[in-house]
Amino acid sequence: MFKRLFLALVLFPLATAFAQEYPNKSIRLIVPNPPGGSTDLVARRLAAGLATELGQPVIVDNRGGASGMVGAQVAMNAPPDGYTLFFAPTSVMAINPAVFAKLPYDPLVSFAPVSLLSKQPLLFAVTPSLPANTLSELIALAKSKPGMLNFAGTGASASLPLLHFAHLAGMKVVEVPYAGGGPGLSALIAGQVEIASLTLGTVYPHVQAKKIRGLAVTGARRSPLAPELPTVAELGFPGYEATIWNGLAVPGGTPKDIIDRLNRAVVKVMASAEIVNQFATDGIDITTSTPEKFGEHIRAEIVRWKKVASDSAIKLQ
């Protein structure tokens, strides 16, 4: 007993000193998406702010591939010392568990939550040549041509909400996979696909330029960025909502002192006037949280998306 007490008295100051010294070298932020797109944009703005707040470089390391699983594995296998951060999006943390029968990581065990960061709605859009100016016209057209209309599949977080809507509306559409939002948007503009589900902030300038036609947003309310666009819910699908969120996590086992230090830094960075103004321009809502609240959010989202996949008869891959 005395030996354990002695060790505790010796190790506690060392652990405290370590936490106080953190960070004392550069930090890596693993982003499980390729460069470009809304997720990468949020990550890079966060990295720049954290570098200033923590006084150390924060290097963005894009590790896209396999629906985010490549980046997730890199992050989960890193030492749990606070020098590897994981940019945790909806797709990796909540939707993958709903659509994949087996994952190489456990979002609730492999990672420790730091903070929720942001949320933004998707936009259901069509190529301008498609004779559908409203969501109801799209539904009628798709029903008249079952299996004949294609949509750009740009990742699980965008595809699952569209497939869920198609199920609710009685539409049969075919997914054409693309490597990300950028290629999917280009295909929509070129008319290579008829429909796409893309983050509003990313594609709204193309709606304004009339390169694509926006039909409805997937948030619970209209977006201040595009107040003229109705929500899916108000167009006859009450309760429908699909918001894409991002958060920050660290490898499981990271000391709580370090998680708390990172949380304080994240909350301060995301509350800065520069970040708030930048994100508002892109239609992104800032939604920071405590580590505990982010953990609760992840658990609730896993349950929700599993139900969506089940209700929509989407088979596990």
pLDDT of residue 142 exceeding 50: yes
Position 192 scores a pLDDT of 97
Tell me whether domains 2-119+245-311 and 121-235 share a fold: yes
* Beta-strand pair 243-251/111-126: antiparallel
Please compute the mean of the pLDDT values over residues 257-269 and round it to a whole number. Answer: 98
- Topology of domain 2-119+245-311, CATH: D-Maltodextrin-Binding Protein; domain 2 (3.40.190)
For the four alpha carbons of 10, 254, 48 and 281, in that order, the dihedral sign comes to negative
Position 119 scores a pLDDT of 94
pLDDT in tens, 54-91: 999 999 999 988 889 999 999 999 999 999 999 999 99
The architecture CATH gives domain 121-235: 3-Layer(aba) Sandwich (3.40)
pLDDT over 70 percentage in the chain = 93
pLDDT in tens, 154-209: 888 888 999 999 999 999 999 999 877 888 999 999 999 999 999 998 899 999 99
The mean predicted confidence, pLDDT, of the chain is 91
Position 255 scores a pLDDT of 98
Position 4 scores a pLDDT of 42
pLDDT of residue 52 exceeding 80: yes
Q: How confident is the model at residue 3 (pLDDT cuts 50, 70, 90)?
A: very low
Please compute the mean of the pLDDT values over residues 125-150 and round it to a whole number. Answer: 97
Position 41 scores a pLDDT of 84
Q: How confident is the model at residue 113 (pLDDT cuts 50, 70, 90)?
A: very high
| Gap between the Cα atoms of 233 and 311, Å rounded | 17
* Beta-strand pair 111-126/58-62: unpaired
Looking up tokens 């749990």 gives 80
* pTM summary value: 0.86
Position 126 scores a pLDDT of 98
pLDDT in tens, 272-302: 999 999 898 888 999 999 999 999 999 999 9
Position 173 scores a pLDDT of 95
Position 38 scores a pLDDT of 75
Please compute the mean of the pLDDT values over residues 240-249 and round it to a whole number. Answer: 96
Position 317 scores a pLDDT of 66
Per the model's pLDDT, the better-predicted residue between 8 and 177 turns out to be: 177
**C-beta separation of 267 from 89 below 8 A:** no
Per-domain residue ranges of the chain: 2-119+245-311, 121-235
**C-beta separation of 195 from 126 below 8 A:** yes
| Gap between the Cα atoms of 151 and 175, Å rounded | 5
* Beta-strand pair 27-31/58-62: parallel
